[in-house]
């Protein structure tokens, strides 16, 4: 079995850390492009006022290594962002959308459907630029203000996406409220109602269930998984949000189970250690602490205490 890993550290991670210099960003991304990811979310072309950590997105993208066989994608909130991405030759963009109105109002200053409607012109122009668009549904497996979203809500959002010509949607467990039961339930429903869609899943390990949720999604047929090297990243507009599932933990878990990720785990761990050196308080993953299950130790012999 084969899955696709989408690395989001340069967007989801960088935006949740204190701002740091462009050259370091380029260095990190240039290591990530060589890890064997299916896609790499390199930045978000948002207003520097909203996310000052990514204000140098254009310079960063213009300097990174573009020679590797990984699809670069970015987030855009509006036409201005689209133009910036287009100028830099990014061919895959993702729209951010909250599944609940209360999260959307705080995150995007508009209800879910108002925010979606505002994307109409962005998507139209992207088509003329031959840019591949992906939708998303944040708080898909639980909103910190509203609780569980009824699956009817996901369906309505997917319907609207389809009307815009979008059939790729990322479902995010933004504040880690999901559990394998509701992940399965929602995906089973959506895969049946929208069999021509491709769903990506974006997990946070807030309550220790991220890997179990990934397996539940896999079981329902999802093949595309977001993760962040070093586990960095969260949601600036969600209370108690903790880090994304760490790429090294997700890849290690899958590979231990015999599921092919195409990712070079040792390279990912090298990047994670590099990140840890720079941001010791932001990086957190199981693999960084414990090492791979396959890395055995020398047997110590008989017990010292007799």
Binding site for its own copies (CB under 8 A): 47, 49-50, 102-103, 105-109, 142, 144-147, 176-177, 179-182, 205-212, 215, 237, 239-240, 242, 245-246, 249, 252-253, 256-258, 285-287, 289-291, 293-294, 296-303, 305-306
**Closest distance of CB 48 from its own copies, Å:** 11
**Using CA atoms, how far apart are residues 45 and 82, in angstroms rounded to an integer?**
8
Burial of 177 (0-12, 13-18, 19+ CB in 10 A): buried
- Between CA 13 and CA 19, with CA 18 as vertex, the angle to 5 degrees is 90
Q: Is the Cβ of residue 118 or residue 180 nearer to its own copies in the bound state?
A: 180
Which residue is it, tokens 């992906």?
134
Q: Is the Cβ of residue 29 or residue 136 nearer to its own copies in the bound state?
A: 136
* CA 152, 158, 164, 170 torsion-angle sign: positive
Q: Is the Cβ of residue 136 or residue 285 nearer to its own copies in the bound state?
A: 285
Q: Is the Cβ of residue 17 or residue 110 nearer to its own copies in the bound state?
A: 110
**Closest distance of CB 91 from its own copies, Å:** 29
**Closest distance of CB 96 from its own copies, Å:** 12
Q: Is the Cβ of residue 158 or residue 268 nearer to its own copies in the bound state?
A: 268
- Catalytic one of 35, 143, 158, 235: 235
**Closest distance of CB 183 from its own copies, Å:** 10
Annotated active-site residue 235? The verdict is: yes
**Closest distance of CB 235 from its own copies, Å:** 13
**Using CA atoms, how far apart are residues 99 and 206, in angstroms rounded to an integer?**
19
Q: Hey, which residues are catalytic here?
A: 235
């Amino acid at each position: 079995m084969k899955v696709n890993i989408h690395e989001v550290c340069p967007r989801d991670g960088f935006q949740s850390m204190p701002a740091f210099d462009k050259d370091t960003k380029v260095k990190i991304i240039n290591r990530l492009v060589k890890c064997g990811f299916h896609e790499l979310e390199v930045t978000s072309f948002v207003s520097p006022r909203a996310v000052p950590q990514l204000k140098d997105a254009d310079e960063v993208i213009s300097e990174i290594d573009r020679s590797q066989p990984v699809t670069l994608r970015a987030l855009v909130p509006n036409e201005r962002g689209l133009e910036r991405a287009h100028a830099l030759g990014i061919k895959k963009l993702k729209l951010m959308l909250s599944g609940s109105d209360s999260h959307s109002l705080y995150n995007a200053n508009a209800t879910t459907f108002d925010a979606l409607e505002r994307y109409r012109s962005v998507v139209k122009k992207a088509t003329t630029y031959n840019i591949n668009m992906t939708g998303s549904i944040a708080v898909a497996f639980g909103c910190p203000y509203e609780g569980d979203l009824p699956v009817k809500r996901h369906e309505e959002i997917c319907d609207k996406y389809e009307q815009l010509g979008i059939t790729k949607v990322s479902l995010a467990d933004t504040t880690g409220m999901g559990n394998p039961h509701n992940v399965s339930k929602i995906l089973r429903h959506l895969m049946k109602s929208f069999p021509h869609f491709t769903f990506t899943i974006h997990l946070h390990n807030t309550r220790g269930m991220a890997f179990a949720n990934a397996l539940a999604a896999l079981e329902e047929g999802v093949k595309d998984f977001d993760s962040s090297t070093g586990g960095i990243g969260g949601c600036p507009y969600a209370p108690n949000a903790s880090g994304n599932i760490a790429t090294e933990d997700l890849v290690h878990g899958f590979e231990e189970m015999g599921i092919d990720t195409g990712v070079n785990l040792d390279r990912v761990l090298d990047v994670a250690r590099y990140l840890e050196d720079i941001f010791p308080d932001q990086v957190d993953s199981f693999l960084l602490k414990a090492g791979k299950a396959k890395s055995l130790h020398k047997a110590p012999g008989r017990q010292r205490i007799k």
